[in-house]
Amino acid sequence: MAQIFTKIGYRFLLGTIFLTASQTFSQIDPAVSNRLNGFMRENCTTTFNEISSTPVENILKYKVFHIVQETQNMYGEKKKNINEFIVIDTGQKVASFEHVQANTSLPELTNYIREDFILDQESAHEFQSLLDYIYPIEDWKPDHREYFQKNGKWYFLRDAYFRTKQGFEVTVDIQGRITDICYKMKWNGSESK
């Protein structure tokens, strides 16, 4: 029995030494860290621009930002790599908008909508414009934007894939307040215009 406890104690001690040693050796020297940070400052730039538009201000509770991150001179190449992001600042955290895939429920986007916003015939164009800001259509995709209301729901079509319409389905209550938003990859015949 004592031999079992000795083996367990020995393994525990070796594990502790291994974890401590790996953490000690993995820390980066401050001089190296400064050089790495300098390299990043020289070769990477990040800009933040607020998207200040009437649709964003009238529909969303929070501010929206467009972030552009440029990286250059990597691997001796002169071209720039550009990454772009659309984010929302909730006052507590900065978050990206939910990624749309197949049929995707968008509860966070639904929660970002102002309580006093009413979706109706007059404001539907403004809502379509908001979608253009926060979920822009890729340049290479054909533009199939249209919107309509049917059976108590609004449909904001964005794309088509093999003749199947894709876009946002927005459920509203009797007053026109948005209660649910989802992205649909395929529309039922009864949902089409």
> Three-class SS string for the chain?
CHHHHHHHHHHHHHHHHHHHHHHHHHCCCHHHHHHHHHHHHHHEEEEEEECCCHHHHHHECCEEEEEEEEECCHHHCCCCEEEEEEEEECCCCEEECCCCCCCEECHHHHHHECCCCCCCCCCHHHHHHHHHHHCCCCCCCCCCCEEEEECCEEEEEEEEECCEEEEEEEEECCCCCEEEEEEECCCCHHHCC
Q: Tell me the pLDDT tens digit for each residue of 163-179.
A: 677 889 999 999 999 99
pTM passes above 0.75: no
How confident is the model at residue 123, as a pLDDT? 95
Q: Is the pLDDT of residue 41 over 50?
A: yes
Q: What is the dihedral of CA 73, 74, 79, 81, to 10 degrees?
A: -120
How confident is the model at residue 55, as a pLDDT? 93
Q: Is the pLDDT of residue 25 over 70?
A: no
How confident is the model at residue 11, as a pLDDT? 58
More confident residue, 21 or 93: 93
Q: Give the Cα separation of 137 and 41 in Å (integer).
A: 32
Say if CB 82 and CB 107 are below 8 A apart: no
